[in-house]
Amino acid sequence: MNIVLFGGPGSGKGTQSEKLIEKYGLHHISTGDVLRDHIKRETELGKIAKSYIDEGQLIPDDLMIQILDDVIENEAKDKPGVIFDGFPRTIPQAEALNELLGKRGKELHAVVGLEVPDDELVKRMINRGKMTGRTDDNEETIKKRLKVYHNQTSPLRDHYKKLNKYVAIDGNREISHIFESISKELDKRSREVMSNK
Ligand code: AMP
């Protein structure tokens, strides 16, 4: 199965991805991790990415889509299942993902939406910033990221609901309970996929 893990910044996408990788052996692509790796290696792309990330803004769609196309080509095209974590974040990115999968004979099976209230997201990111030193987890940038999320990313919820791919998960609970709900939903979806084959 190819799935998107969807949700605001700090909603637990990374944490739940780790558990999904372990249980289902899915390949994980986090666009945030890809960009942070470029920043660490001080590549040209890293310099561009840093200027957006530090401002809490999204990397422009054209560039981000090109990056994802390359990552899929280099590391995921032969994988039976992939988790997309942090992509798509805009409607054009969602349309691009459909094309990038389609041209490789694949499709997106489910979009798992981790639903968490804003005040909890802020708390979690402030905490993460203290624990990891992640530079965009500071109060000012967090505010900007939440605004970007509500304006540009959250419309994807309705987009995927209409396509019957959106699975809402209450992400404001204990990590293990959230994971149980996700597993249950994915198992159900995967049975449906198999029976349609
Ligand atoms: P994340 O680790 O997913 O929270 O991403 C950290 C930052 O990387 C975001 O605030 C954006 O600046 C950038 N980023 C990650 N994924 C994307 C994407 N799909 N489109 C645009 N920018 C992205």
Residue 197 has pLDDT above 80, yes or no: no
Burial 75-114 (b: 16+ CB within 10 A, else e): ebeeeebbbbbbbbbbeebbebbeebbeeeebebbbbbbb
Q: Which atom of ligand 1 is nearest to 148's Cα?
A: 10
Q: With 90 as the cut, is the pLDDT of residue 196 above it?
A: no
User: Using the 8-state DSSP alphabet, how is residue 165 labeled?
Assistant: -
Q: What pLDDT is stored for residue 195 in this prediction?
A: 85
Q: How far is the CA of 58 from the centre of ligand 1 (A)?
A: 6
- pLDDT (0 to 100) of residue 45: 97
| Percentage of the residues of the chain whose pLDDT score is greater than 70 | 99
Question: How many Å lie between the centroid of ligand 1 and the Cα of residue 89?
Answer: 8
**Under 8 Å between Cβ of 43 and 158:** no
* Catalytic residue check, 89: yes
Nearest-CA residue for atom 12 of ligand 1: 53
What letter would DSSP give residue 11?
S
Mean per-residue pLDDT, 36-59: 97
Q: How far is the CA of 183 from the centre of ligand 1 (A)?
A: 25
Mean pLDDT of 62-80: 95
Among candidates 27, 112, 110, 14, which has minimal Cα distance to 71? 27
88 CA: nearest ligand 1 atom: 19
pLDDT over 90 percentage in the chain: 94
pLDDT band at residue 104 using 50, 70 and 90 as cut-offs: very high
Q: Whose CA is closest to atom 15 on ligand 1?
A: 32
134 is catalytic: yes
Query: Band of the pLDDT at 194, cuts 50, 70, 90?
Result: confident
pLDDT of amino acid 192: 86
* pTM of this structure: 0.96
Per-residue pLDDT of 109-146, as tens digits, reads 999 999 999 999 999 999 999 999 999 999 999 999 99
SS3 category, 134: coil
Q: In what order do the strands lie in the sheet with 166-170?
A: 27-30, 82-85, 3-7, 110-115, 166-170
Is 59's C-beta closer than 6 angstroms to any atom of ligand 1?
yes
7 Cα to the center of ligand 1, angstroms: 12
Active-site residue flag, 13 = yes
pLDDT over 90 at 27, yes or no:
yes
pLDDT at 81 over 90: yes
Provide the strand spans (E) within 86-142: 110-115
